[in-house]
Amino acid sequence: MTPVQVEAKRTSVFNERMKKMPELFDAIRKSLVMQAHQVEIVPVPGK
């Protein structure tokens, strides 16, 4: 492959991957949402 072909291929692959970025950003945002956790405090016997 010539350097021009390599650059064209690199650019096209980069553009394809960038099209998927909004979907990936949405998945990241959903995984980082704060969630409430329920904690139960139980007395320790003998203390």
Structure tokens at 21: 């970025």
Residues 38 and 35: their CA atoms lie apart, in Å, by 10
Query: Where do we find the tokens 């072909």?
Result: 5
Residues 47 and 20: their CA atoms lie apart, in Å, by 57
Q: What pLDDT score was predicted for residue 1? A: 87
Q: What pLDDT score was predicted for residue 4? A: 95
pTM of the model: 0.53
Q: What pLDDT score was predicted for residue 18? A: 95
Say which residues have a Cβ less than 8 Å from residue 13's Cβ, sequence separation at least 6: none
Q: What pLDDT score was predicted for residue 35? A: 84
Q: Return the domain boundaries, the chain.
A: 1-25
